[in-house]
Structure 1
Amino acid sequence: MSIQVADIPLDPPVLLAPMAGITDLPFRRLVASFGAGLVVSEMVASQEMVQARPGVRERAALGLDDQATAVQLAGRDPRWMAEAARMVEGLGARIIDINMGCPARKVTGGMSGSALMRDPDRALRLIEAVVGAVRVPVTLKMRLGWDEGMLNAPDLAARAESAGVRLITIHGRTRCQFYSGRADWAAIRAVKQAVAVPVIANGDIVDATSAGAALAASGADGVMVGRGAQGRPWVLAQIAARLADRPQPDAPVGGAFAGMVAQHCEASLTFYGRALGLRVFRKHLGWYMDEAATDPGLRRTILTERDPARVLALLPEALDGHGERVAA
């Protein structure tokens, strides 16, 4: 099971969703090391990228040797979107994704993200500007619509395809739902029927069972995993194996799990610097300790510790329980 985006194969068709403050380069590389068809950067504001606001270019950092990496851009001005697209293409992005799905008020309030679904003409101008600015494939991520009264994803998807978009990801909720309720995978089928390019289903896909159900309901060509990968970077590989009817790889346990977390921590420290790297990594530490059912007292100690060396020294004790939880 594989899909093609222009001349780039996405094999397996299991993608890591862009998540603000989470899908930085260290996490994307970790997920990719287990196996993913595509990993997508956290959303990058196009104007801030071009104007080099502190921290923005780091969010788009690619690693020129990385494969199957996309950078997601957000914005409302075609000129800034085009300039940012050219910039990230120059940095090594093989695919550029346009964000029309973020529901956050600070994004939609500036007429970016899913707010663009309320203004399809503006959305189309942005798409045309980005497609015209770069040689790499351009993809689009959006929701079913703004609200239940404006379910315009099929129409916008068709217009995006005509403008040159090569793949479309649909989160099975409206913007006004945010992340409440359940994703409506069946509603994605109308988008699949409206376009010839690959369609990816997103929303509430956390394991192989939910991935299979989403594909069956939507008719989509692949799935995108977001929150389901938090604390479980191997889950995309497990989903891919099930979809290909292969044995699922085991999750790392015991010393292997602690070693993986330590490597992720070290990568964060190297990428951001030790002080900032530890602060950024704490959210991941919390999810990993959720997986391991870490003792609450030890958890508090680790999450409030400011010395990276001390945190690394405590990881084996904190994460030993993961093997017992997986076995159970």
Structure 2
Amino acid sequence: MYIGSYQLSNNLIVAPMAGVTDRPFRSLCKYFGAGHAVSEMMTADKTLRMSKKSLYRANFDGELAPISAQIAGSDPEQLAEAARYQVANGAQIVDINMGCPAKKVCNKLAGSALLQDEDLVARILDTVVAAVDVPVTLKTRLGFLNGHENILRVAKRAEQAGIAALALHGRTREDMYLNTARYELIKQVKETIHIPLIANGDIDSPEKAKYVLDYTGADAIMIGRAAQGRPWIFREIAHYLKTGEHLAAPDIAEVKDVLLGHLAELYQFYGEYSGCRIARKHIAWYTKGLRSSNEFRQSMYKVESTVDQAKVVEAYFDQLLDQGQRMSDVQVEQVNLLEIK
């Protein structure tokens, strides 16, 4: 698959997720076989762009090409300026966020709230595409409200504006992440436009990945929440699409090594204070369903230093290895991230 002149190594893409797809996470997913990754969104508001959080989001040092930076906002000129800033910062592809359903984003008429104003959508697309000489992609949803899906019009307008590829989450903003992704509309969009289409939503297994690709005719799939604490899902899907066979689940020793390596990257990237706190949600995702994981997490959340945090994680996994825990024994478990301080 190509995005502009950039050929991806495969058609498996890491979805942009605020607070998740930082450089360490993107690099890890690419290591496990993702052909492409999009950064978490950066605000187009210049007054906020130089915040510490935004600067982390704009850090692409050492990342495998092509580098894709997502921007979010509602003012066409501000978004154009943000696109130019990202290109000057090393981005080779700019992605426009019209899909985020978060209240704090939609309240500013950004993210998926933009789908309520198709004239504004058109102005944003035209202005950003004209502002930079790199491919511009669009991430969006089926529409704002159920029963008022306007993705077919938006997709056609995006193609007319020169958007290089369209990533489509199969829900409306009203759905948030509830209900199930609707692949029929994604299929209709694919049949309507001639630019690459990337299908997104509820793709959480090799079988689901193949089904979505086959059913929608999409050029690629985008995986978000299913990769949280499970970056090897890209390796599993790539193998299944190539061979029709399943890879064995990683053993506990490999999960331990992957997690400790991920923590080391987070600590180096964010520093002591933020690194320890940002790591907590990742540890929660990696350990969900494992033996006594809830008790472990409640204790882990109280640890205040990176050194101690890594030690308690290592000790927990060593205990699992001593008990003969296998990943095939993992039970489905919901992790309440509201517990994470």
Give the structure 2 partner of residue 117 of structure 1: 115
C-alpha distance in 1 between matches for 2:294 and 2:103: 33
SS in 2 for 1:244: helix
With structure 2 as the length reference, what TM-score do the two structures score? 0.90
Shift in CA distance, 27/65, structure 1 to aligned 2, threshold 3 Å = closer
Shift in CA distance, 147/267, structure 1 to aligned 2, threshold 3 Å = same
C-alpha distance in 1 between matches for 2:293 and 2:115: 45
SS in 1 for 2:253: helix
Give the structure 2 partner of residue 41 of structure 1: 39
Shift of 1:221: 1.2
CA contact (8 A) 1:49 1:57 kept: no
SS in 2 for 1:98: strand
CA contact (8 A) 1:49 1:84 kept: no
Give the structure 1 partner of residue 85 of structure 2: 87
Shift of 1:102: 0.7
The answer to which of 315-324 and 274-283 deviates more is: 315-324
SS in 1 for 2:288: helix
Give the structure 2 partner of residue 155 of structure 1: 153
Runs of 5+ in structure 2 lacking a partner? Answer: 330-341
Counterparts of 1:211-290 in structure 2, within 5 Å, are 211-245=209-243, 248-290=246-288
Give the structure 1 partner of residue 192 of structure 2: 194
Give the structure 1 partner of residue 180 of structure 2: 182
Q: Is 2:321 the counterpart of 1:326?
A: no
Shift in CA distance, 233/51, structure 1 to aligned 2, threshold 3 Å = closer
C-alpha distance in 1 between matches for 2:10 and 2:244: 12
Alignment deviations for residues 175-200 of structure 1 (CA, whole Å, 9 cap, x no partner): 11111111011221111011101111
CA contact (8 A) 2:27 2:63 kept: no
With structure 1 as the length reference, what TM-score do the two structures score? 0.94
C-alpha distance in 1 between matches for 2:92 and 2:325: 40
Runs of 5+ in structure 1 lacking a partner? Answer: none
Shift of 1:52: 1.3
Aligned length: 326
Shift in CA distance, 294/231, structure 1 to aligned 2, threshold 3 Å = farther
Shift in CA distance, 90/251, structure 1 to aligned 2, threshold 3 Å = farther
Alignment deviations for residues 283-313 of structure 1 (CA, whole Å, 9 cap, x no partner): 0010111153444333222221112111212
SS in 1 for 2:189: helix
Alignment deviations for residues 67-120 of structure 1 (CA, whole Å, 9 cap, x no partner): 233111111111111111111111111211101111112111111111111111
C-alpha distance in 2 between matches for 1:193 and 1:210: 21
C-alpha distance in 2 between matches for 1:182 and 1:125: 31
C-alpha distance in 2 between matches for 1:316 and 1:50: 38
The answer to which of 195-204 and 254-263 deviates more is: 254-263
Letter in 2 for 1:326: M
Give the structure 2 partner of residue 16 of structure 1: 14
Residue 105 of structure 1 is aligned with which of 95, 103, 113? 103
Shift of 1:18: 0.8
Give the structure 2 partner of residue 7 of structure 1: 5
SS in 1 for 2:134: coil
Letter in 1 for 2:124: L
The percentage of counterpart residues that share the same residue type is 38
C-alpha distance in 2 between matches for 1:140 and 1:155: 14
